[in-house]
Chain A
Amino acid sequence: MDKLTIGLALGYGRSVASKVAKDVGVNAYPFSRTKYVSLTKIAGRKDLALTQTHHSMEGRDIVRETTVNEWSKDSSAGNKPKMELMSMWEDHKKTGHQWAMAMDLNKCTGCSSCIVSCNAENNVPVVGKEEVFKRREMHWIRLDRYYQGDENNPEVVHMPMTCQHCENAPCESVCPVLATVHSSDGINQMAYNRCVGTRYCANNCPYKVRRFNWFKYPHDDLVENMVLNPDVSVRSRGVMEKCSLCVQRIQEKKLVAKKERRSIFDGEIQTACQQSCPSDAIVFGDMNDPKSKVAMSLKNPRNYTVLEELNVRPRVSYLTKTRNKD
């Protein structure tokens, strides 16, 4: 945008609101009818509560992208070949269901529906502006937004980031009390009632997707608590939480399929983020099912995992962004 242009959110026109919205924001509608405005700098400082304060990828291999032209010539354009990484240990068996997720960076518009639906589904606490300012928001899925290119006209990329459910999860190895372990179907589990809150797992997560309950965020209010999902526990103070790949939904559908004596068909289990994504950027399913959408995504030449060189082997993969330039 031009340096002499100011963008101002109009607001919703209210001037009185309940305690949640007291002193938050302004009604900017009066300006919409004004022709001439003047701008004055006043004393003081207001800190903005942002969930992300650094917007450059610093040259790191986080988002891989290409252009449509390049992709049409070579479908693995922009992507790098899969690394051959050694392991000290023999792999654990990968039989039965093995859940995996793929996120298409091309389809993601950064609308944040996934965040809203994940919060609603998983009883993610709302922490308030002060806590957000201290970088303590509790969203299990976040949208990393990186700018690149020309400062005055940057390109944007949105990257949804959840727990990557690594097969060699660095968080699991360091929990002293076995509060986070790996399930036989590939999910990085979080046992809230076992967690004593040492926070080593969060420190060791290279993706920084773990969330800690710094205070007792939930509170006893019979009316407010009607919004909670009864299938998901409410976490207490001092406990770590993170994306569980909506394990309650996985369990629900597994039970239904068991009762009906059939196997789960692809697309039957939908995580909350996947369900609400308007562009179907998120694909979730059983990678051991060769016909599943997620298995197809894994075979896609655009598929890659973030921070691949750490050999943590995430089950959440991404498809390279393809920009429609020139």
Chain B
Amino acid sequence: MQKQSFLIGIFDDEQKLVDSTRHMVGKNYKIHEIYTPFPVHGLDDLMGVERSRLPYVTFLAGGTGLLIGLLGQVFVSSVSWPINVGGKAFASIPAFIPIIFELTVLIGALSTVAAFFYCTKLFPGKKVQVLDKRQTDDKFIMALEKIDLKEDDQTVMDLLKNQGAVEVMVKEL
């Protein structure tokens, strides 16, 4: 992984962070990413984050689970080895519904979680890349890309400080 340089501003108040983000986006600065200890609302729209397509995964996976449940049970009970159990019909669909529902939820949930891990590239053993150890504790970090930065570092850092950043620095990831 190539090391990239970022100019980061560390905030300790999420409202100041949101205001600063609005300001920087308005000035056409490229924000690489913002790191927060909890989700801060308002950043998605400002950063132009597209709405995640995870719900589609859930729908498709759940539908798959439903089909597996329905077709699987019907096949096993009426095609593969039809057995008279309690005088019921071989393809007794009402009796199959509970398992169909459970498989829908199970496969839907597990697939969505797998898709989440795939999209966010989270996996056990991943090399941790944090800009500052306190970004999971109480600090909010805005990382600006240094490429295409027209002004010099000091100007940007002063700008961030004016907007409420408690620390500014250049870091590599």
Contacts and interface: CB of A to CB of B under 8 A. Distances in A.
A240 interface: no
Interface stretch (B37-45, B61-69, B81-89, B111-119): B81-89
Given A167-B87, A182-B86, 6 more contacts: A89-B92, A90-B89, A169-B86, A172-B84, A172-B87, A178-B85
A168 to B, nearest CB: 4
B85 A170 contact: no
A182 B87 CA distance: 8
Nearest to B84: A182
A91 B84 contact: no
A89 B83 contact: no
A145 interface: no
A181 B92 CA distance: 15
A89 B77 CA distance: 15
Contacts of B83: 178, 181-182
Nearest to B85: A172
A182 B92 contact: no
Interface of A: 87, 89-92, 166-173, 175, 178, 181-184, 313
A91 B92 CA distance: 13
A91 B87 contact: yes
Contact of B87 (A169, A175, A178, A184): A169
Interface of B: 83-89, 92, 95
A173 B88 contact: yes
9 contacts: A92-B87, A166-B87, A167-B87, A169-B87, A172-B84, A173-B86, A175-B85, A178-B83, A182-B85
A172 B86 contact: yes
Nearest to A184: B84
Most chain-B CB neighbours within 10 Å: which of A170, A182, A313?
A182
Interface of B is mostly: loop
A171 B85 CA distance: 9
A87 B89 CA distance: 11
Contacts of A170: 86
A185 B133 CA distance: 75
Contact of A313 (B85, B87, B89): B87
A181 B88 contact: no
Contacts of A313: 87
B84 A89 contact: no
B116 to A, nearest CB: 34
A313 B92 CA distance: 19
The 7 closest A-B pairs by CB, nearest first: A173-B86, A168-B87, A172-B86, A182-B84, A89-B89, A172-B85, A181-B83
B154 to A, nearest CB: 73
B87 A89 contact: yes
B84 A92 contact: yes
B86 to A, nearest CB: 4
Contacts of A90: 89
A92 B83 CA distance: 11
Contacts of B88: 89, 168, 173
Nearest to B83: A181
Nearest to B89: A89
A170 B88 CA distance: 10
Contacts of B95: 173
Contacts of A183: 84
A217 to B, nearest CB: 28
A17 B87 CA distance: 51
B89 A173 contact: no
A178 B87 CA distance: 13
A254 to B, nearest CB: 19
Nearest to A169: B86
Contacts of A173: 85-86, 88, 95
A230 to B, nearest CB: 28
Nearest to A167: B87
A89 B85 CA distance: 12
A184 B82 CA distance: 11
Contacts of B84: 92, 172, 181-184
A202 to B, nearest CB: 15
Nearest to B81: A178
B130 to A, nearest CB: 50
A153 B89 CA distance: 51
Contacts of A184: 84
A154 to B, nearest CB: 38
